[in-house]
Structures are given as C-alpha cells and as structure tokens.
C-alpha cells in the first residue's frame, strides 16, 4: 500500500548498494582515529544493533543504559526466531560533565566535548557505511545514551542531508538523554520531562556558548525517521532537560547530574520497554513484503500527478523506470539495479529547471533503496 502523507518513507527494506547508489562518502571524512569496533566484514544477521555508550555506562549489569536496551532488543528478536548481531561504536568519548566547571561553562571542556562528539559522529557514519555496503538486507537498530545519543542524532541528520536513502535501513533509534534534544521534538517521547525539554548542548548552542557544529544546526531528527526514533528524558536531567540555571548554579547542576545517572538503576523497566519498542519495529520491517519495481513506478506516478516531481528530472526518472522494467522482463536484474541506481542519482542531483519536493525525494530514495536491497538479498 502506498502512503501519501508528508511523512511517507516508502519501504523500510535494507538500503542495498547505497555507497554506489547515492555516492556515500561516509568513510572518507577526516577523523582517522575514529573507527567502529567489529570485524572488517560484518556478519549479516537479520538485525544489527549498534550501541553508542558514553564513559561510565557499563556494558551490562547494574547501571547499564545502552546495554539494557540492546539486551532487550536481542532477547525479543531472538524469541521471534531472528538472528541478531551487536556492535559497540569506539571513539574517544568524554563525559558530558566536562562542559561545566565550578563557575559555569568551561570553554576548554566544551571544546573537548565538541571534538569528542565529532569523532563519535564520524565513527557512526563509518560503521553505517560499512554495514550498509556489506549487509544490504540487514535491518539496523541504533541505541545511544548521553553523548552516544547525540552521536546518533547528528549521524541521522548527516544521512538525511548527504544520503537520505540510507535512512531506509534504520528500523528504530533509541535515544536516552539526548544532549541535542529540541523543544517540541517530533520523536516518540518517553520519560517525565515535558514537551519543552531542551538538551544541554543545544541550550549552550542557542546561548552562543557552544562551538559551531556541536549540535549541528539545532534541528530535530529527520522527518523520515522521527516516528521510528524514541527519545527518553526524565524531568530535571541536566543533559536533556537543561535550564540556564545549571550553567551557573552548582546546586542545580549537581541535582540534574543525579537524575542523569539514574536511568540504568531506577529506570531499568523503562529502558526495557524502549528495547521492546525497537525490536517490534525491526520485526515488522523483516516481515514486510519486499518492494517491487511496480511499487516504485506507482509511487512515481502518484508524485507526478501531485506535482511533486516536475521538469527534466521527471522525464529522466520515467525513462529510468521504463528501462529498468524492460531489463527485468528480460531477466537482467543486475543491469536493472544499475538503472535504478541511475534513478537515485537523478533524484539526488536533479538537472536545472527541475522540481523535486523534499518529501518526494525522501520517498523515492527510500523505496529505491528497499528495492535494491530486496534484489541484492535474493542474489547473494
């Protein structure tokens, strides 16, 4: 069934051949020291759960935040008969506490934190690029706490800007205490914090205290994944429910820091609920019927009729679809996949005098990625 609302995301099947299809250069950015742990050739389980843990978050056991969510995702999917792989991101993470000193914001600490976030974001993009290329049919679940949540937030924003089709591979993202949380976030909110809660790093950015790029441009997670992203924040948490008072008041800062440390202790039940929520989305994606070229044609026809794709790009996409269909009819699936990749390039970089709305671009790229993933999975 085609979805025609603003939040259309097309198929959530794996984003196969994304590096070639949308020109992902995720592994080429400058941060050679940042890397993702794990094998050079990832094992292609049904689902890969990628965790981003800040300093002080135990891998498992009492107090574990990311570990509790990841463990629940693995247990729920294994019970459903799915194979699951897990991996931790490795980057030179520093605790969020370095942002604030006895007298308020510590400029040196803020610079150190910003550098750590940049390295973590790069590690996340490298890992995503590796897995999307090696395991095209694999579903992804992203889990992050504190700085780890910020890393995934920024990585999703980067994908939306540079490789939106890649978002189709992400079944769910669980962010606990996101320092980049924006008031009125469109994500699935959990926890006792109100709708106007703002992350500490985002607050510092708005006050002109944060280095450029610490929280990107201050945007929410991309529309294409907002309904698949859960943000948990407890009221008074200095990291995700900050206020100007914590920037200058040591008492308020200490109180907020205590709340921030309780997720893996008093909040275990909530974390387990979050993990089950993510597992259910991944299972739904795995059970979904793979898209077909006819689905992509139907989506294009609807977008053309609605005026969401016009001009030279509309002609090029139409020709790409016709050529791909002829190749499929003759049994040349590999050549058809290359033609769909051409379609992706045309939609990503349309010629002059063309119009492609943001929603149309997201939908076409997501469905094309799902189609490529389905073809790759059947020929692997």
> Could you give the angle at which helices 107-134 and 147-162 cross, rounded to 10 degrees?
60
pLDDT digits (tens, 9 = 90+) for 134-173: 887 889 999 999 999 999 999 999 998 888 878 889 999 9
Indicate the length of the chain as a whole number.
Answer: 380
Q: Which helix (H) or strand (E) holds 171?
A: strand 170-176
Report whether pLDDT(196) > 90.
Answer: yes
For residue 103, the model assigns a pLDDT of 65
Task: Delineate the domains of the chain, giving CATH numbers in brackets.
Answer: 31-287 (3.40.50.1820), 293-379 (no CATH)
The fraction of the chain above a pLDDT of 70, given in percent, is 85
Instruction: Locate 72 and state its tokens.
Output: 């629940």
Average pLDDT in the 48-70 region?
A: 90
**If pLDDT is split at 50, 70 and 90, which confidence band does 32 have?**
very low
For residue 163, the model assigns a pLDDT of 81
Report whether pLDDT(16) > 60.
Answer: no
Write the burial class of residue 254 (CB in 10 Å: 0-12 exposed, 13-18 middle, 19+ buried): exposed
pLDDT digits (tens, 9 = 90+) for 103-129: 666 778 888 888 999 999 999 999 998
Instruction: Locate 194 and state its tokens.
Output: 């109100």
Count the neighbouring beta carbons within 10 Å of the beta carbon of residue 336: 22
For residue 379, the model assigns a pLDDT of 54
**Whole-number average pLDDT of the chain:** 84
Average pLDDT in the 228-247 region?
A: 92
Question: 0.85 exceeded by the pTM?
Answer: no
What are the residues whose beta carbons fall under 8 Å from the beta carbon of 130, sequence distance 6 or more? 27, 36, 42
* CA gyration radius, the chain: 21
- The span from the CA of 285 to the CA of 379, in Å, is 20
Report whether pLDDT(307) > 60.
Answer: yes
């Amino acid at each position: 069934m085609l979805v025609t609302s603003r939040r259309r995301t097309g198929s959530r099947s794996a984003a196969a051949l994304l590096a070639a299809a949308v020109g992902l250069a995720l592994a080429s950015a400058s941060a050679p020291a940042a890397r993702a742990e794990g094998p050079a050739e990832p094992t292609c389980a049904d689902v890969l759960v990628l965790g981003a843990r800040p300093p002080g978050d135990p891998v498992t056991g009492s107090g574990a935040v990311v570990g509790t969510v990841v463990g629940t995702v693995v247990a729920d999917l294994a019970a459903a008969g799915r194979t699951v792989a897990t991996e931790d991101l490795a980057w030179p993470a520093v605790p969020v506490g370095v942002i604030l000193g006895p007298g308020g914001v510590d400029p040196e600490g803020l610079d150190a934190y910003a550098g750590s976030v940049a390295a973590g974001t790069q590690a996340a993009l490298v890992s995503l690029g590796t897995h999307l290329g090696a395991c095209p049919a694999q579903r992804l679940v992203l889990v992050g706490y504190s700085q780890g949540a910020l890393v995934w937030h920024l990585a999703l924003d980067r994908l939306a800007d540079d490789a939106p089709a890649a978002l189709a591979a992400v079944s769910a993202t669980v962010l606990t205490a996101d320092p980049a949380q924006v008031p009125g976030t469109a994500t699935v909110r959990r926890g006792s914090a109100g709708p106007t809660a703002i992350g500490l790093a985002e607050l510092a950015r708005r006050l002109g205290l944060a280095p450029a790029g610490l929280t990107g441009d201050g945007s929410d997670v991309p529309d294409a994944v907002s309904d698949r992203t859960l943000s948990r924040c407890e009221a008074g948490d200095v990291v995700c429910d900050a206020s100007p008072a914590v920037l200058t008041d040591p008492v308020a800062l200490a109180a907020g820091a205590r709340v921030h440390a309780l997720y893996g202790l008093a909040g275990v039940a909530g974390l387990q609920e979050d993990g089950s929520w993510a597992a259910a989305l991944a299972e739904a994606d795995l059970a979904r019927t793979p898209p077909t070229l006819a689905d992509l044609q139907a989506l294009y026809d609807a977008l053309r009729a609605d005026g969401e794709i016009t001009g030279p790009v509309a002609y090029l996409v139409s020709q790409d679809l016709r050529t791909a269909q002829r190749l499929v009819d003759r049994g040349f699936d590999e050549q058809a996949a290359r033609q769909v990749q051409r379609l992706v390039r045309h939609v990503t970089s349309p010629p002059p005098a063309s119009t492609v709305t943001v929603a149309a671009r997201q939908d076409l790229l997501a469905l094309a990625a799902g189609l490529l993933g389905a073809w790759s999975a059947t020929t692997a």
